[in-house]
Structure 1
Amino acid sequence: MTTPRREPELPIDSDPASTGSPPVHLAGSSILLVLLGGTAGTAAREGLSLAIPAVGGIPVAIFAINIVGALFLGALLESLARRGADVGRRRSLRLLLGTGFAGGFTTYSALAVDSGLLLTGGDPLGGILYALGTVVVGALATVAGIALAAAHHRRAVSR
């Protein structure tokens, strides 16, 4: 009879205040990582939004960008959290890819503007559905990203 594997508990975030070092958001290296990731994410979003036209007045590129970004961020953060405390390489990856890239790639402001334009431009139902749909599908995509990363972790641990 085999004993089922028990997953380790997730780590607790480290507290920079207890170490005596400056907060992470004030460190020059952290700012640089976020800047680099944000630049790449913003460039990717702009490229996709220029390449994918609106369909029936609905900005499908921004919708897709926000959904893919939510999926990516859920998977990234779950994956990093399961690997240990938010320090060193994991923190650098979170800042570069999560805060930076995903933060620059996804766009609440374009969602708000596009929803407002639809609402005031003669398609109020489209504006409401676009705004609510993006938020609901984005939340589901985040949960899916978390589930995918957790499943990947379970497979890796069982090998």
Structure 2
Amino acid sequence: MVSPAERAASVIRSNRYLTMATAEAHHPWAAPLAYVLLPDASLVFYSARSAKHVRAGLISGEVAGALFNSTLPSDDVDGVQFLGSLFEVADSELALVMPAYFEGSFPDPEVRARWNRPESDFYKESPQGFYKIILTEVFVPDPTSTQIDLRQSVEINQLKVLLIA
């Protein structure tokens, strides 16, 4: 039987979009985001610095989210819910993060060329930036619970080992 960590790793590796949730002054917000898994097992995305989800996530340092393949039938779909810490990617890290993001998001070189941007578009003084989510808690649906929608906790260190491998 596949472990919860193996299931979570498969979902994270095989999807491209997540929904990240934040709250600021008791006002919840959710944003759909394209992400890429980095070699350090973090999830990276870019967004406007002024976006509600970025502001709230950086202020609190905490985000929640979910990812799943919404095109599959209910009997086949698997998903992940998570809690994580949000960090801005430093200018000094952009040379490593940007190629991973654009190559992962746009494997076709012609398509990537249309989307690729210079590092300066994401420097601290720019209107947008790259951000990393470090997963702190992860949950998957409990396959033994067919009548009630329950979750299983994923051993985070085991998940990170699988994501890094």
TM-score normalised by length of structure 1: 0.21
| Structure number with larger C-alpha Rg | 1
TM-score normalised by length of structure 2: 0.21
* RCO comparison, higher one (Cα < 8 Å, 6+): 1
- Of Structure 1 and Structure 2, which has the larger fraction of its residues in helix? 1
- Of Structure 1 and Structure 2, which has the larger fraction of its residues in strand? 2
